Amino acid sequence: MANDILIEARRVTRILPGIVPTTLVRNVDLAIRENEFVAITGPSGSGKSSLLYLLGLLDLPTDGEVTIRGKGTVHMAEEERAFLRLSELGFVFQFHFLLPEFTAQENVMLPMRALARLSREQMRARAADLLDSLGLAEHRHKRPDQLSGGQRQRVAVARALANDPPVILADEPTGSLDSKSSEQVFQILRDLVIGRDKSVVAVTHDLALAERMSRRVHLVDGMVQADELAKVSMS
């Protein structure tokens, strides 16, 4: 496993303001390195999704720092953070969040359009290639309501890969799927680590899936209770 750190949380705390402030994440130190398959587990309300959103620059810590490739992000301009999200991070959520008026191919093109590195024809070709690689060649021109739940989630994975980011952050990516579709999505995420050298960090309540990932970070009350390598083969 390579030693290069892609994302690092340094003493990160997130407090939700209010009449009674709520601490979502408390003093978390966590480094995500190249080519890791990381499960974030814990009971409901333990801060799993909150931590993922902090790692993904979708939220800012109340205290502490999140770095991307060693670069601090807390005091960045929002435009710079947005660029890092587009270029360095891909997101998959429990609910696919595909735009209903666009086809699968058009949905996958959206992050590429936002980053504006490719021509329209190049974007079309890359989106088609990504969908083809995930077994969706014949579904490229269908809209989300014409796809099954598992197919929609595979489109969401293709969209996360659109700008070829080194890290994929997934929040309960199999939580709304049946067992067959859940296994298909899990295998796709696993293959991203093995076959494409990505790092995948997935929040999951499914301990059976978490046990098949190479590293498990367990949260309780917003704090890391355990961070351990699993005895599983990733070959």
Helix-then-strand count for the chain, H and E: 7, 10
pLDDT band of residue 173 (cuts 50, 70, 90) is confident
Neighbours of 176 (CB within 10 A): 16
b/e sequence 145-166, b meaning 16+ C-beta within 10 Å: eebeebbbbbbbbbbbbbbebb
Confidence of residue 169 (pLDDT cuts 50, 70, 90): very high
pLDDT in tens, 141-168: 999 999 998 899 889 999 999 999 999 9
Residue 86 reports pLDDT greater than 50: yes
Predicted model pTM: 0.91
The pLDDT value given to residue 48? 93
pLDDT tens track for 197-210? 999 999 998 888 88
pLDDT at 155: 93
Q: For residue 67, what pLDDT is reported?
A: 95
Distance from the Cα of residue 193 to its chain's centroid = 13
Q: Which domains, ranges and CATH numbers included, belong to the chain?
A: 35-46+77-229 (3.40.50.300)
pLDDT digits (tens, 9 = 90+) for 26-52: 999 999 999 999 999 999 889 999 999
Instruction: Give dist(CA 157, CA 235) in Å, integer.
Output: 21
